[in-house]
Amino acid sequence: MTRFGYTLMTEQAGPRDLVRHAAAAEAAGFDFEVSSDHFSPWLTAQGHAPNAWVTLGAVSQVTEAVELMTYVTCPTMRYHPTVVAQQAATLGLLSDNRFTLGLGAGENLNEHVVGRGWPPANERHEMLTEAVDIISALFSGEYVNTVGRHFRVDSAKLWDLPEHRVPLAVAVSGQQSVSRFAPMADHLIAVEPDAELCSMWDAASGRPAAEVRKIGQIPICWDPDRDAAVARAHEQFRWFAGGWKVNAELPGPAGFAGATQFVRESDVAESIPCGPDVEPIVKAVSAFWEAGFTDVALVQIGGEHQDGFFPFAEAELLPALREASA
């Protein structure tokens, strides 16, 4: 049976609200929770970007059983991979082994802030490969010394490690990234319901398919008023229409606003289920489990529109998703 998660969208809510939402999502019955890790919102209308790691530390203390995950952290520019490894190990301890480290090659939106420019995709994948190697080595608890093309590590060791090694999941989008990261990571992350990605990962990973999580994500905009939901999705999530090859390259909210100025409300409504009904959401999410995904995290669009969503999710949406996916 597919597992269903809740997204702590740091771009659309402040840290206090995110912590409160995390507790409410667990109470509503979500199986896991993922957090974005941004320095900037996609669009000014979203209005937030608190530190994901500090927030997840607090979340670990107000939840009891729900699994936690970064979705995703870029361990190459804003953060050195040694720092990411330390943060992940600490969160693994604070959460009693409930944390999975989700990694990706990043977006210009978040990484340019450290003033190192924005490298091309192939170089970003090289950097991520080195970073994953360093993080994996540090999770062993031994001293790590390495000199690579992109990173140098000098006598680094993690002194506080959780009882169970923190699982690694990596975001991929095609054959090149799957071939590179499937042998290195435990689980797959992707935002498109692509069955070929899942089969390529299984072939390349060397692990039994039953042991590999394939974790997707989908935005929805629940609201009792469908027109209000469509308007909100357009205001805050029209950037999603660009696709990740575009979204990884633009440097800031002004760029995303310009790039999406001609996206219409009807365009957004065609790609994001909006309104009060369960059926359109189930239909959209079903594409993931039909493609072979084991986990799907939902994004409820609109930071101030979470409280009404949780009773709906508990009473109607999650039961419907579980019944359909079974």
What residues are labeled active site? 38, 107
Cα dihedral 31, 35, 41, 44, rounded to 10, equals: 40
Cis (ω within 30 of 0) for the bond into 72? Answer: yes
Instruction: Pull the structure tokens for residue 102.
Output: 């989700």
* Complete DSSP assignment for 112-163: GGGSS----HHHHHHHHHHHHHHHHHHTTTS-EEEE-SS-EEEEE--S---S
Instruction: Pull the structure tokens for residue 167.
Output: 């699982």
Cβ-contact 50, 22 below 8 angstroms: no
Tell me the C-alpha to C-alpha distance, in Å, between residue 120 and each of 111, 221, 234, 251. Answer: 13, 33, 30, 14
